[in-house]
Structure 1
């Protein structure tokens, strides 16, 4: 169950990171409220997950999900460039996340 909470926390991290782009510097009320709610949900779920998981693993996986998810959605949704170096770097982060889960 803790791993599911951690994955959900990571998904909310991606949501708030992408939400920052839509807030226009926190000047748009609805996107700002939704982004802040996603931030709260992300940290709250992380807090629940670390009750059962080591903080070193949970925090690394949480930030990794956020980094990889945000980068991939930035490419897909926002039209950002995907260079070979970026793709290789994301693959290495993902490999590290799998290693942390298995370790």
Structure 2
């Protein structure tokens, strides 16, 4: 259960990071509200997961999921480009997250 919550919390990290970017310095109300709600939910999920998953592992998995998804959201929106080098590095990051969950 904690792992599932941690994965969802990592996904919510991508939501709040993307919403923060869209908030124009917290000046746009819709993205700002989404940022706050997703941030709180993401932190609660991370905190819950840390009750059974070691802190370092939980944090690394949470950040890894959030980072990869945040980049992918930006690529889909056309805000960033995904070249071969970035794709390979993101794949390594995903592999690292999977590896951390496997050995935890």
- Fold match (TM-score > 0.5): yes
Alignment of 1:1-103 (within 5 A): 1-103=1-103
Structure 1, unmatched stretches of 5+, are none
Give the TM-score of the pair, scaled to structure 2. 0.94
Structure 2, unmatched stretches of 5+, are none
Aligned equivalents of 1:30, 1:68: Cα separation in 2: 24
Aligned equivalents of 1:79, 1:31: Cα separation in 2: 16
Deviation above 3 Å: which 4+ runs of structure 1? none
The offset of 1:77, in angstroms, is 2.1
The offset of 1:2, in angstroms, is 0.3
Specify the SS of the correspondent of 2:77. helix
1:25-51 Cα offsets, whole Å, 9 max, x none, are 100122111111111111111000100
The offset of 1:73, in angstroms, is 1.3
Aligned equivalents of 1:18, 1:45: Cα separation in 2: 18
User: What is the count of residue pairs matched by the alignment?
Assistant: 103
Specify the SS of the correspondent of 1:25. coil
Aligned equivalents of 1:21, 1:53: Cα separation in 2: 30
